[in-house]
Amino acid sequence: MPEAKKARAVGFNHVALEVGDIEEALSFYGQIFAFKLRGKSEDMAFIDLGDQFLALQKGRRQPPDDGRHFGLVVDDKDAVRQALDQAGVEVLAGPFLDFRDPWGNRFEIVGYENIQFSKAPNVLRGMGLTHLSKNAQAIKELADKGMAPA
């Protein structure tokens, strides 16, 4: 029997995080990041990331994340480091800029310029981020895959 055709994973539409309280979560994240809401209810909130979003859902009950995390791409990693310090949020030990929110969700903060992840020019324009660019290593990694920016 021939192998069934498989769908190809092409990216993320959103990441969903469980938090204890939506208003507390928005207040906490607002200390660290500048963001716009796509929508909000008593039990959910949606933080806009251009063509993607971060969903917050009320009801976290599991223990804090250890190795499980997600990499959140930002335009200014140093600004996040400063905001974490000002908010009194512990940066986790290790080679990356990792922290946990008050509910135990683990974030790894990644600078846009350093990685292969790329927003389409029209999305960057819509987000007011046309000044962002990639460093030489990220451009080489993209070029090696035939994906170098124009």
pLDDT in tens, 44-81: 999 999 999 999 999 999 999 999 999 999 999 999 99
Name the helix (H) or strand (E) containing 86. Answer: helix 77-87
Domains annotated on the chain, with CATH: 14-59+68-112 (3.10.180.10)
With both helix axes pointing from N to C terminus, report the angle between 77-87 and 22-32 in degrees, rounded to the nearest 10: 120
**H helix and E strand count, the chain:** 4, 7
Q: Tell me the C-alpha distance between 8 and 84, whole Å.
A: 37
Q: What is the pLDDT of residue 58?
A: 97
Task: Give the SS3 label for residue 132.
Answer: coil
Structure tokens at 101: 């929110």
Written as six digits, the tokens of 74 are 């930002």
Label residue 148 by pLDDT band (50, 70, 90). confident
Reference 54, options 70, 32, 31; nearest CA is 70
In 3D space, the residue among 88, 138, 103, 96 whose CA is nearest the CA of residue 20 turns out to be: 103
pTM: 0.90
Q: What is the mean pLDDT of residues 120-128?
A: 92
Mean pLDDT to the nearest integer, 141-145: 92
- Mean pLDDT, the chain, as a whole number? 94
Backbone phi and psi for residue 34, each to the nearest 5 degrees, phi listed first: -85, 130
